[in-house]
Structure 1
Amino acid sequence: MDDRIPISVIVPCWRDEAVLGVLLAQLTRLAQSSQQELQLIVVDAASNQECRELCLQLGAQWLPARPCRGEQLRMGASQARHPILWFLHADATLQGNPMPEISAAYSDGAVGGYFAFRFDGEGCWQSRTLEWLIALRNHFGVPYGDQGLFVEATAYRTSGQHSPWPLFEEVELIKRLRRLGRFVRLAEGVRVDSRRWQRDGWWRRSLRNRLLALAYACGIPPSRLVALYSAPRSAVGDTSKT
């Protein structure tokens, strides 16, 4: 089994240069140490010169875009040349080297998958409880983009790609992928930045996001829900829905 299948990594961002630089450097080191062929694509909704220069320094392709994460992800995927697409948030932290596990899932016939939700840093009872609840939600519902979604490229396009929306852009895609084939969960590999939950309050942020998800399930368009999302940077870079 080939554990070094080429992967295209697609990262949407909006004024995320500090954390983006850390992620790109980490990916580059892992690719070099494991001889993994990797294509790095950054889709920048701020069209920021600083971001462009950072991508140039770290060997990533830089694409300017308008502020809509679903459209950013679709744009990045349109430039991907490898058989596996891996969508990461700019503030994601990698645990170990997840790429062999992604390749193994692909070789075993999975159409895609995601990583178990884990917060970065030292845990607390709130974070551990939320991780357990999110695992339960993933079993009955869908994982979201901050869980490092990866997809076989042909299956991604067959399933209609991400919806061109600023919120819940992955929901319909994952439903279609699960009908198409196996969509697997990997136990370790990606950690989620916990600063937003610490800033907003663990339960307050989670409750607000669940109410947004309920509103979406009831048919309210994501374009209206973005206006209701009260956190800073709501329309673009900080639209975590966990």
Structure 2
Amino acid sequence: MISIVIPVLNEASHIKEVLNHTLSLAGDFEIIVVDGGSEDETMKIVDSFPVVQTCSSVRGRSHQMNAGAALAKGEILLFLHADTFLPDNSLLKIMAVMKKESLVGGSFFLKFDHKHWILSFYTGLSKINSSFFTYGDHAIFIRNSVFKKIEGYKPLSFMEDIEIQFRLKREGKFVKLPVGVVTSARRFVEAGPVKQFFLDVFLVGLYHIGFSADSLKRFYKDWNSSIKLKEQNNE
């Protein structure tokens, strides 16, 4: 079984559609939504899906994903962003590839719900099986036993998706599946696609050469925080 862990924070605009789509997929799976303190209708929407398990945790993706993993019953953990759609037969593909005992996990590549040349270029880069081009919105999946062995995500404020790949690859092989998830391009649209792309590459590059996640986090704006700030300014 696959345990799909979805960390959420003020995701009322996307979570219903994502849950409906995910529940329509073929395969043996459970869904665990972990709330980091949403102040909108997110959890009211989630609670309308009785088959979806919920819990709350300290805010922050690393904390939320660890909390969800602690409740998971599946042999495989799949960490899914609340604005991201898995491809058809994705769960069956994961179960098939993870029959290889040498694999500790993997991810999909990334496609966007918005057309722009830089986003198409980004999609091409995301097909490369490297921690430099593989992030949390690619829907990372990990063998549960290995996740427990490495003690899950480190409690980082940023770059937790890249850091865990360093430790996973010491345990075995990490695969990039030749199919793509579709995610919202909202942060690219808000900041400007070219500006956001080069910011992402710059920050990931600095992290790879030794800059701490906390020192880089201040240059990366949380989408949910920006929404809340706009709402407060409009009141």
* TM tier, smaller: 0.7 to 0.9
Greater share of strand = 2
Unpaired segments ≥5 residues, structure 1: 1-5, 238-242
Structure 2: distance between partners of 1:176 and 1:140: 11
| Pairing 1:206–2:197 present | yes
Tell me which amino acid in the other structure corresponds to 1:95: P
Q: Which segment is superposed worse, 175-184 or 8-17?
A: 175-184
Aligned sequence identity (%): 28
Counterpart position of 1:191: 182
Deviation at 1:232, TM superposition (A): 4.4
| Structure 1 counterpart of 2:70, from 78, 87, 90 | 78
Q: How many Å apart are 1:28 and its aligned residue?
A: 1.4
Among residues 51, 56, 60, which one is paired with 2:52 in the alignment?
A: 60
Deviations 1:157-193 (A, max 9, x none): 1123111112111223212222211211111141121
Alignment of 1:1-242 (within 5 A): 6-30=1-25, 34=26, 36-48=27-39, 50-58=41-49, 59-109=51-101, 110-121=103-114, 123-136=115-128, 138-139=129-130, 141=132, 143-230=134-221, 232-233=223-224
The Cα shift of 1:61 comes to: 1.5
Q: TM-score if structure 1 supplies the norm length?
A: 0.83
Residue type at the aligned position of 1:97: N
**Which sections of structure 2, spanning at least 5 residues, go unmatched?**
229-235
Identify which of structures 1 and 2 has the higher relative contact order when contacts are C-alpha pairs closer than 8 Å and 6+ apart. Answer: 1
State the SS of the aligned residue for 1:113: strand
Contact 1:9 1:85 in 2 (8 A): yes
- In 2, distance between residues paired with 1:113 and 1:232? 25
Q: Using the alignment, how far apart are the partners of 1:48 and 1:39 within structure 2?
A: 25
Q: Distance in 2 between matches of 1:157 and 1:211?
A: 31
Map of 1:240 onto structure 2:
none
Aligned residues: 226
User: 1:49-91 deviations in whole A, cap 9, x for unaligned?
Assistant: 7333322221212212222111111111111111010000000
Query: Displacement of 1:15 after TM fit?
Result: 0.3
1:81 aligned partner, one-letter code = K
Counterpart CA distance in 1 for 2:221 and 2:38 is 24
Q: CA deviation at 1:93?
A: 1.6
CA shift at 1:23, angstroms? 1.1
TM-score (norm 2): 0.86
Measure, in 1, the Cα distance between the counterparts of 2:211 and 2:225: 17
